[in-house]
Structure 1
């Protein structure tokens, strides 16, 4: 299953493997390295055939509360006619290996590596792997937060390779984002984008903000600032950040890219 995007290694490590992994869970962030995403931690999902999932984030009180994120593997012939159990959930699908057929809002789409689909809350959709190889994709789920006077967002399908990288000003085109939704589109209460840093590029300040994050490294190597720690990350690693966790980055010797979730465009919920 060769791909330019990372995905879990599966299998099991050898019995003589040393316990020198980088997995950590703190009050501000968690790091789930690729090396621990093995067969033993997968789950099987209701109403899905020949499918398993690495559930790498879920809402947790006092930590990151807004989203869940899966890496889903569907074998040839597998899929689902009833994939989403929650009618209030919106979702993003991003293909990292293989091919799949997605039926969304009455239209059928063929998604290959880099394929991206936004699924609005309540949308009718189904998915099947008609190929001869497994397909793997990220599935980010969030309970949609409706706002008075704001319409529901529309379903859409694209491929990240057909979208431009929007470079940050003053970075000499070394740090940018592939955006699938305009930041000012208030119909959307989450963004799932791809961040690109060219070799040696930096995020030169400690971002500290209300948005929660899931960052899955698609390719490349970097040293990432997470709260008080500098953490080395590589393809297939997942960083899970609660609100206000300081973060910054130094990219390594190759292009560094990650899939990024964040919650946006809504008032802070008040406890009364």
Structure 2
């Protein structure tokens, strides 16, 4: 299967471009089109050299609250010796373009397009681009939620190419999910998977559930139901869904419609602050 991954390259919008693209933000979801990922919207991160990031999601009171998601571009010779500032932070890195050298607890891993890494909470790691072209990756971050009787999950490195998609039942292969962490391993409190729809594939009902989502479209295009709105999306677009936002989709065009999907899993719902008085 010919899988590709869209990586933004920045730049500035044309002066003749219309101001309102497809960007949306409301109390149920957000859509950040790829055209928003320009030089104007980048952030520079403390502790990172020759790097810049587009922050797509961060915990936001009254909206999605469990995760942050960024696209990071590292120029040749750049990287970080201490990427994660939160001592309880865990990460998933997915390489969109270029080559990265990832070191976790002293063990080096060479990662290219399609490479996937889970970095365990509290792990010591470094990342660098030692090649002569930029490297771009999606970085999903979450503060790990410890649970009684469960050890911390271990870090691991794999790739999209090494993991076979699992077909959803009764879909004839039109809908499949690439799972990088064992879904029965309760040590993991987040999953970051790749969902693939072949042309004609669909989610045929409005999923409505407690899990929050960050969805980065890697390849192709589709039409996504967000709450009560059908939204056209394409590779490079990002969607941010809060808990219980109804969702469905179908693939459009002739190429596979693939996206990287974050969701929080395997923990009891918090019951809120104790009542006072």
Q: Would you say how many aligned residue pairs link Structure 1 and Structure 2? A: 270
**Alignment gaps of 5+ in structure 2:** none
Q: Which residue of 2 aligns with 1:243?
A: 243
Q: Which residue of 1 aligns with 2:56?
A: 56
Q: How does 1:105-144 map to 2 (within 5 A)?
A: 105-144=105-144
* Deviations, residues 222-253 of structure 1 (Å, cap 9, x unaligned): 11000010000001000000000000001112
Q: Which residue of 2 aligns with 1:10?
A: 10
Q: Is the 8 A contact 1:105 1:155 kept in 2?
A: no
Scaled by the length of structure 1, the TM-score of the pair is: 0.98
Partner-residue secondary structure (3-state), 1:147: coil
Deviation at 1:200, TM superposition (A): 1.1
Scaled by the length of structure 2, the TM-score of the pair is: 0.96
Q: Which residue of 2 aligns with 1:154?
A: 154
Q: How does 1:95-244 map to 2 (within 5 A)?
A: 95-244=95-244
Runs of 4+ in 1 over 3 A off after TM superposition: none
Deviation at 1:8, TM superposition (A): 2.1
Alpha-carbon separation, structure 2, partners of 1:167 and 1:87 = 37
Alpha-carbon separation, structure 2, partners of 1:137 and 1:64 = 22
Q: Is the 8 A contact 1:66 1:143 kept in 2?
A: yes
C-alpha RMSD over aligned residues: 0.9
Alpha-carbon separation, structure 2, partners of 1:45 and 1:145 = 24
**Alignment gaps of 5+ in structure 1:** none
Alpha-carbon separation, structure 1, partners of 2:47 and 2:222 = 38
Partner-residue secondary structure (3-state), 2:85: coil
Establish whether residue 21 from structure 1 lines up as the match of residue 21 from structure 2.
Answer: yes
Q: Is the 8 A contact 1:9 1:35 kept in 2?
A: no
* Deviations, residues 10-51 of structure 1 (Å, cap 9, x unaligned): 101111112241001011000000011111110111110000
